[in-house]
């Protein structure tokens, strides 16, 4: 009986002194976010896909007030962007192509007869703000407070990412939406950083919407911003009268995919 009791005690002691550990994420979310901001600012090209779910959002344009639906934008350093924007005007879907070099804009749509107009379509649309040190990605990520590393997950496109969340003042993250959109108040921010490359590959901004009497809408407005095709050669179709030089060398990738939609679902709910 004594031998059995001694053996039992040894087993208990062995279990208590086991070197087996449970692996948990230990990365510092602040460092991950800072590195992600620096990485994307150094990129020569990238593509942004912006989609919206929830309450409508109206934008004022040179054409008039329209409702935003989605946008696909291709950026090329040092400050050139072409965007295919889907809006709704008078209840009808309309596709607008916007070309911008800095704040200098051209656009074309059905009401221009398919011709480029050297006019401002969206005041504030400025691709240079995306990679400037005090605006864009850098400012937006630095403005997120209460950063928390939620964990690791895989997006539906196969990207293995760190999921980080926090909150930010809407005005601080507006440059992520290329000046087309202005979010208001405190905005929930979910950031997904590629575990291999360190690039930010998805932002999800959750905005509370209030009606005219100050009552919060039942459903928040959700902006999903996917960052893809980083440092991949692209094609930008500059207006004939534009003197913009598009770099780097191009391939047959088209930026006119106005009907392309980003799918926000992941293996975990943002």
CATH, residue 106: 2.50.20.20
Terminal-residue alpha carbon distance, the chain: 58
Q: Does the residue 198 lie in any domain?
A: yes
Q: Does the residue 203 lie in any domain?
A: yes
pLDDT one digit per residue (tens) for the chain, 270 residues: 544 444 333 333 344 443 433 334 568 999 999 999 899 988 999 999 999 999 998 887 766 788 888 989 899 988 899 989 898 887 888 898 999 888 889 999 888 888 999 988 877 777 777 766 666 788 788 889 999 999 999 999 899 999 999 999 888 887 777 666 788 788 999 999 999 999 999 999 999 988 878 788 889 999 999 999 999 998 888 888 765 444 433 333 333 333 333 333 444 444
Instruction: Report, in angstroms and rounded to the nearest whole number, the Rg of the chain calculated over CA atoms.
Output: 23
CA distance 225 to 201: 8
DSSP 174: G
Please state the pTM of the whole predicted model.
Answer: 0.76
Angle between helices 136-143 and 29-41 (to 10 degrees): 170
Q: Does the residue 240 lie in any domain?
A: no
Q: Does the residue 9 lie in any domain?
A: no
Total number of domains constituting the chain? 1
Which CA distances in Å does 220 have to 41, 54, 215, 268? 30, 6, 12, 18
The structure tokens 């040179």 sit at 62
Domain range holding 144? 25-228
Which CA distances in Å does 244 have to 32, 103, 247? 35, 12, 10
Q: Does the residue 155 lie in any domain?
A: yes
CB of 76 within 8 A of CB of 245?
no
């Amino acid at each position: 009986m004594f031998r059995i009791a001694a053996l039992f005690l040894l087993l208990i002691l062995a279990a208590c002194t086991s070197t087996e550990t449970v692996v948990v994420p230990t990365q510092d979310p602040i460092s991950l976010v800072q590195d992600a901001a620096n990485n994307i600012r150094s990129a020569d090209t990238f593509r942004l896909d912006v989609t919206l779910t929830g309450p409508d959002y109206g934008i004022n344009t040179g054409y008039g007030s329209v409702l935003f639906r989605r946008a696909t934008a291709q950026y090329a350093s040092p400050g050139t962007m072409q965007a295919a924007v889907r809006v709704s005007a008078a209840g009808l879907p309309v596709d607008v192509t916007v070309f911008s070099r800095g704040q200098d804009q051209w656009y074309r749509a059905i009401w221009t007869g398919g011709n480029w107009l050297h006019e401002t379509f969206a005041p504030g649309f400025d691709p240079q703000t995306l990679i400037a040190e005090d605006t864009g990605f850098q400012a937006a990520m630095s403005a997120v407070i209460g950063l928390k590393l939620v964990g690791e997950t895989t997006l539906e496109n196969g990207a293995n990412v760190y999921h980080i969340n926090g909150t930010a003042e809407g005005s601080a993250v507006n440059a992520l939406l290329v000046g087309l959109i202005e979010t208001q108040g405190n905005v929930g921010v979910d950031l997904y950083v590629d575990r291999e490359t360190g690039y930010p590959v998805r932002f999800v901004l959750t905005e509370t919407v209030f009606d005219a009497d100050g009552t919060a809408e039942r459903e928040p407005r959700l902006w999903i911003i996917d960052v893809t095709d980083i440092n991949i050669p692209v094609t930008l179709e500059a207006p004939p009268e534009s003197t913009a030089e598009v770099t780097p060398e191009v391939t047959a990738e088209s930026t006119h995919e106005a009907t392309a939609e980003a799918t926000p679902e992941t293996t975990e709910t943002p």
